[in-house]
Amino acid sequence: MSESLPARAQYRPALTAALDAALAFLHGLPTRPAGVVDSGEVPAPPEGIGAEAALEHFRRHYEPRLSGSAGPRYFGFVTGGATPAALAGDWLASAYDQNVSNTIGSAAAALEQATTSAYARLFGLGEEFAGYFVSGATQSNTVALATARQWLYAQRGHDVAEQGLAGAPRLRVLGGAPHSSILKAAAILGIGRRHVEVLRCLPGRTAVDPDALAERLADGGERPTLVVASAGEVNTGDFDDIAALAALCRRHDAWLHVDGAFGLFAALDAAQAGRLAGLALADSVTVDLHKWLNVPYDSALVYTRHPSLQRQVFRASAAYLGDTPDPLHYTPENSRRFRALPAWFALAAYGRKGIGEVVRRNCALARRLGEGLAALPAIEVLDEVRLNIVCFALREGDAAARDRFLERLLADGRAFMTPTVYTGRPAVRAAIANWSTTEADIDLTLQAVRAALAAA
Ligand SMILES: *Cc1c(COP(=O)(O)O)cnc(C)c1O
């Protein structure tokens, strides 16, 4: 039997070697560079060398150049790692390899529904919200906006899923600081990026001014409108006043979508949960699980209180599929992986208490980082540290100086952060969402920042 042909007997050596590689990587995360400078391609491997040799080739040529993004000092974007239970669930999801497109012949879809319900309760969403697993918050926002579009047109006697957009009035999307994925969703759905209208925010904040929304809603005439609220704005972790926005949406027959990709986890911290007041009044809600829950990519949830409209958009009609409650009628995919299993494991293993503890710890660490940065004369912290994000700028210098600072930080390797622009100013943001980050990691990060500043 050739090594290069699959055989059942190869599972054990292949998976044992993969386990060894994974453990070496995971235990090395605290000391691995947070980001790498050299990320180029290497020549393709020879073919047909067998699973173990393929793994060896990969470990030689690529693994040393992978980032430590799953580790404790990667603060770019909003990035979580993977807890032990979540990773075990993820591996098993691949081993079980269930197609959760349907409910026939497997309990996998039942586990998914039980999991989306359990997370709804965790976030304070009632039973009127139906949830589905999708690959990320971008996809979740897209599904939510597609359902909103169906609802807005249905109110005007137009079934856009059946009839298409021709002849339908233009939609508009209103928000104070919508995430870029909202623009992407608008492009995908034929709403158009240009019809995402960014409204005035409260002074010094990235939360929308409810008066600005009230004015825009009042002067929109009959224009069908979708309002996107941020629950955790990506630059500073700011929150829109969801209850105020919900009241305005009710009055003007607008749909309210809440993008809580990471901020929905504020529900798990008693000191932060008030920021989500009014959440249950939303029409749809997005939350990422591969960020703050620390399950591996790719995992997010979309919730809506209008699943029948969601089904009108996403239903897959074919004689052999039937009229069933199958997930494939509610999401962009037909075939879907057993994505719920890592999230199910995370909740079963750690519970509300353990998941909430990570949230509270990360928020405390963000405050510690903010205080440490504010004590450096060269740095100005640009906003109050609200949740788990610190947004700061160099007191001197332009965007190029900021970029050189970030390049030195990347080369140093002890911490990773990403650039942004905050109220017109070139800035840096650090988001803390990894379960394993400690106070010692924050202190190491501050050392790395000081070194990157000194090298200027
Ligand atoms: C990260 C993020 C998204 C996009 O999420 P992906 O999982 O990368 O698709 C959308 N909205 C907000 C507020 C986010 O933080």
Condensed to tens digits (0 to 9), the pLDDT of residues 189-224 reads 999 999 999 999 999 999 999 999 999 999 877 899
Instruction: Decide which of 20, 37, 68 is a domain's last residue.
Output: 68
What spacing in Å lies between the alpha carbon of 400 and ligand 1's midpoint?
26
Instruction: Decide which of 300, 327, 346 is a domain's last residue.
Output: 346
Neighbours of 332 (CB within 10 A): 15
Ligand 1 atom closest to residue 232's alpha carbon, by position in its atom list = 13
Range of the domain at 60: 8-68
What spacing in Å lies between the alpha carbon of 202 and ligand 1's midpoint?
22
- What pLDDT score was predicted for residue 440? 98
DSSP 341-408: HHHHHHHHHHHHHHHHHHHHHHHHHHHHHHHHHHTSTTEEE-S---SSEEEEEESS--HHHHHHHHHH
Name residue, tokens 């912290």: 381
Q: Is 198 found in the same domain as 55?
A: no
Ligand 1 atom closest to residue 141's alpha carbon, by position in its atom list = 10
What spacing in Å lies between the alpha carbon of 238 and ligand 1's midpoint?
14
Q: Is 301 found in the same domain as 188?
A: yes
Q: What's 338's domain CATH number?
A: 3.40.640.10
CA–CA separation, 221 and 48 (whole Å): 65
246 lines ligand 1 (CB under 6 A): no
List the residue whose alpha carbon is closest to atom 13 of ligand 1: 261
- What pLDDT score was predicted for residue 91? 98
What spacing in Å lies between the alpha carbon of 116 and ligand 1's midpoint?
19
CA–CA separation, 358 and 433 (whole Å): 8
List the residue whose alpha carbon is closest to atom 12 of ligand 1: 261
Q: What Cα–Cα distance (Å) separates residue 374 from each residue in 108, 378, 391, 408, 449?
A: 49, 9, 11, 20, 12
Under 8 Å CB-to-CB from 376, ≥6 apart: which residues? Answer: 446, 449, 450, 453
Q: What is the C-alpha end-to-end distance of the chain, expressed in Å?
A: 60
Q: What Cα–Cα distance (Å) separates residue 292 from each residue in 81, 154, 433?
A: 8, 35, 5
- What pLDDT score was predicted for residue 321? 65
- What pLDDT score was predicted for residue 41? 84
Q: What is the pLDDT of residues 387-433, one digit of tens each?
A: 999 999 999 989 999 999 999 999 999 999 999 999 899 999 999 99
Under 8 Å CB-to-CB from 421, ≥6 apart: which residues? Answer: 427
HSE toward the beta carbon, residue 126, CA cutoff 13 A: 8
Q: Does residue 364 lie within any of the structural domains? A: no
Going by C-alpha positions, the residue among 382, 368, 126, 340 that lies closest to residue 360 is: 368
What spacing in Å lies between the alpha carbon of 181 and ligand 1's midpoint?
7
- What pLDDT score was predicted for residue 447? 98
The full 3-state SS of 359-374, as one line of letters, equals HHHHHHHHHHHHHHHH
pLDDT < 50 stretches in the chain = 1
Q: Is 59 found in the same domain as 113?
A: no
Q: Is 225 found in the same domain as 118?
A: yes
Q: How many folded domains does the chain comprise?
A: 2
Q: Does residue 416 lie within any of the structural domains? A: no
Q: Is 133 found in the same domain as 40?
A: no
Q: Is 158 found in the same domain as 27?
A: no
What spacing in Å lies between the alpha carbon of 139 and ligand 1's midpoint?
9
- What pLDDT score was predicted for residue 32? 96
Q: Is 99 found in the same domain as 16?
A: no
What spacing in Å lies between the alpha carbon of 75 and ligand 1's midpoint?
15
- What pLDDT score was predicted for residue 4? 80
Q: Is 245 found in the same domain as 96?
A: yes
Name residue, tokens 């809600």: 285
- What pLDDT score was predicted for residue 328? 94
H helices, E strands: number in the chain = 13, 11
List the residue whose alpha carbon is closest to atom 14 of ligand 1: 261
Q: Is 117 found in the same domain as 48?
A: no
188, 234, 238, 389, best to mutate for ligand 1 pocket (most atoms within 8 Å of CB) = 234
The model's pTM is: 0.97
265 lines ligand 1 (CB under 6 A): no
